[in-house]
Chains A and B, each alone.
Chain A
Amino acid sequence: MRAIDAGILVCPECHQLNRREENHDGLQCVRCGARVHARHPNSLGRTWALLLTAAILYIPANLLPIMTVSALGKGEPDTIMSGVVALVQMGSLPVALVVFVASILVPTFKLVGIALLLISVQRHQALSARQRILMFRFIEWIGRWSMLDIFVIATLVAVVNFGTLARVEPNLGAVAFATVVILTMLAATTFDPRLIWDNTESDDDHE
């Protein structure tokens, strides 16, 4: 039985149970005072909006250089992909793999994964509820790791700072990339995982 069927709403912040009052969709949590809704209001619409913005920015994030490494006045712009290729050429395959996963695989997987979740919730189909919740948890957990490249840029900019001899400068691609990561993280928080179970009562139901 779902809590919503028993007229009970779960506080989104402190998980306290609250009894639903007649004719009220939203109320204040008795414990922490947060606004409590049966499901996040307009969860699907907001998640779609954040996701589409992220998808558009995904293009400049991958095409524009994220930083320029200059030595003796000659600058060489680096995109995310060329950074990975450089690591492979240096022979550090494990690190290249970590950066590839965090900067290329994960953002792509997140965009596709959240879109799949939204579509399967809206169409009531495709994946089983258990598959979808595992995917959601994975997306929620992995999201922050894509910031890796931004922190690498920060460290390099600070430490490779020898004036004209050698320096590293951040470029616009880094802004686009950081924005994509932040937007997909927000999309994972606006998505209400309870929607996954709402239209699949038959699947894994214990009744």
Chain B
Amino acid sequence: MHDSSRSHDLGELSLDKLVACHECDLLMLKPELAPSERAECPRCGFELFSYQPHMLGRSLALVIAALLLYVPANFLPILQLRLLGQTTEDTVWSAVAALYESDLQGIAVVVFLCSMGIPLLKLLCQLVVLLSIRWDVGRGYGLLLYRIYHHLREWGMLEVYFMGILVSIVKLLSLADLAVGTGLACFICLLLVQVWLEITMSPHQVWEALSRGRAHASH
């Protein structure tokens, strides 16, 4: 790897033999990867790309699992609180609704986007991208949606929300009679499936697959 950055005629080589680090702009020869291997930038340590075997099938299965979990995770009760004979329930959706009824609608919108809106959009983008690769249709839309997905990526905050639920549980335990609901189990499953999906759906492979299709179409 070090030799490749030493040679001064890298710029003369064909672009598909090269790779550049996205974070530090180091130009080097593209390494060949075996399944499950990953390449890192020798200068700054950024992951250049990884190669996941059976990426398409595994990712599709995970996206569908995540979409199935999405509804129960957001609409089944996560917490139940009992106080002097009254019972209240908390779902991800009811939290958004309750915030909206207070006078701070802005917060409701932020919570809705980070916990429900953007996670759903991300999954739908991933689903369409994977289907467009599998069926070889609409690669142009696939590219566009995959770009949108990358812009949305860090704004979906399921894991932070989960931590927020845990902190709330600690805060409420001393106050009243608290029970966790089935929604929490679904939420945790959704979170795990989503993390697994992000590892499996290697961006480099998706971009390659999307562009390969377009090259076919234009010839």
Residue positions of A touching B, CB distance < 8 A: 1-8, 10, 12-19, 31-34, 86-87, 90, 92, 95, 98-99, 102, 129-130, 133, 143-145, 147-162, 165-166, 169-172, 174-175, 178, 182, 185, 189, 193-194, 196-198, 204, 206-207
Contacts and interface: CB of A to CB of B under 8 A. Distances in A.
Contacts of B219: none
B102 A8 contact: no
Given A19-B15, A31-B143, A151-B164, A159 B104 contact: no
B6 interface: yes
User: Taking chain B's interface residues, is the majority helix, strand, or loop, or is none over half, making it mixed?
Assistant: helix
Interface stretch (B32-40, B64-72, B130-138, B166-174): B166-174
Nearest to A39: B25
A92 B174 CA distance: 11
Given A1-B8, A1-B27, A174-B107, A144 B160 contact: yes
Interface string B148-175: 0010001101001101111110111011
B200 to A, nearest CB: 18
User: Taking chain A's interface residues, is the majority helix, strand, or loop, or is none over half, making it mixed?
Assistant: helix
Contacts of B111: 150-151, 154
Interface residues of B, number: 73
With most chain B CB atoms within 10 A of its CB, the pick from A5, A130, A159 is A159
Interface string B56-97: 000000000000000000000011110110101111001111
Given A8-B20, A16-B207, A151-B161, A166 B102 contact: no
A160 B167 contact: no
Closest 10 CB pairs of A and B: A151-B164, A6-B11, A3-B20, A159-B90, A158-B95, A155-B168, A154-B95, A158-B90, A197-B24, A3-B27
